[in-house]
Amino acid sequence: MSKNNHRPSIAPLVRSGAYLLIGAAAAILMVFLLFMYQNFYLTLASAGEILILKADLAVETLDETLIEKTEALNQRRVSRQRLDWQKIRDPFHP
């Protein structure tokens, strides 16, 4: 009679551990790439857009005399004399 000394094989455990390790590495790589995309690529793209928009700004000279005239007109409108209602005759009571 022969004894059957069958030990459990460790190969399936190693194989499943390797799959878990590869899956974890892939997940970490995906998170790292997402981080790089959001924090570096999008920031650089936004900075490039800002530079393009700054170059497209139109520089206009302001007519200071027109501004002063407008301010003077506004000041005259604001500083009108108020009516003294005591001096105005009441049309309903002669």
pLDDT in tens, 21-80: 999 999 999 999 999 999 988 888 888 888 888 877 767 788 899 999 999 998 887 777
Give the count of alpha carbons within 13 A of 11, CB side only.
Answer: 2
Is 2 within the bounds of a domain? Answer: no
Is 5 within the bounds of a domain? Answer: no
pTM: 0.42
Q: Find, among 82, 83, 66, 62, the residue nearest to 74 by Cα.
A: 66
Q: Look-up: residue for tokens 């790089």?
A: 36
- What is the number of structural domains in the chain? 1
Domain span at residue 19 reads: 12-78
Q: Look-up: residue for tokens 């009516």?
A: 83
Q: What is the per-residue pLDDT across 77-91, written as a single tens digit (0 to 9) for each?
A: 777 777 788 888 888
